[in-house]
Amino acid sequence: MKDIKSQSSMEFFALVGLAFLAVTLFASITVNEIREFGDQKEFLMIKDLALRLQKEVTIAAYAEDGYERSFTLEDKLEGKIDYFVIVTNSSINVNSSKAAFSVRIPLIYGKNFTKGSNMVEKTNGKVYVNK
C-alpha cells in the first residue's frame, strides 16, 4: 500500500513539473510575440508618417503657385514613440529607435519638417517647407 502512495505522489509531481514547463514555455513565446507586434506597429507608424509627409510635398508640387498648407506633427507618435525627420533634396527619412522608413519626394527648398507646426507652400514653381 505504501508503494502505491509513493508512486501516485511521484506521478503527481511529474505531471505538475510538466505543466509548469508547458506554462513557462507558453509565456515566453507569448512575450516574444507581443514584443514583435510592438516593433511592427512602430514600423507601420513611422511608415505612415513618412507617407503623409510625402503626400503633403507631392500635393504642393502639383498645385498652382500660391498653394499653402499648414499642419502639425505630434511630438511623439501615439504619445510614446520618439522619432526624427531628415529631409534631403529628393527624399524624406523618418527614423525612430527601432524603425526607419524613406520615401522619394519632389525637390523642395526651405527648412526641414519639425515637430509642431509646419507650412508647405509653392511659390514661383518651387515647393518650400517652413520657409
Enter the DSSP assignment of 114. Answer: -
At 89-106, the pLDDT tens digits run 789 999 999 899 999 999
Are 52 and 103 a contacting pair, CB within 8 Å? Answer: no
Residues spanned by the domain of 85 = 2-129
The tens-digit pLDDT sequence of the chain (131 residues) is 555 666 777 888 888 888 889 889 888 888 888 888 888 999 999 999 999 999 999 999 999 999 999 999 999 998 889 999 999 878 999 999 989 999 999 988 888 899 999 999 999 999 999 98
Number of domains in the chain: 1
Of 121, 117, 95, which is closest to residue 108 (Cα–Cα)? Answer: 121
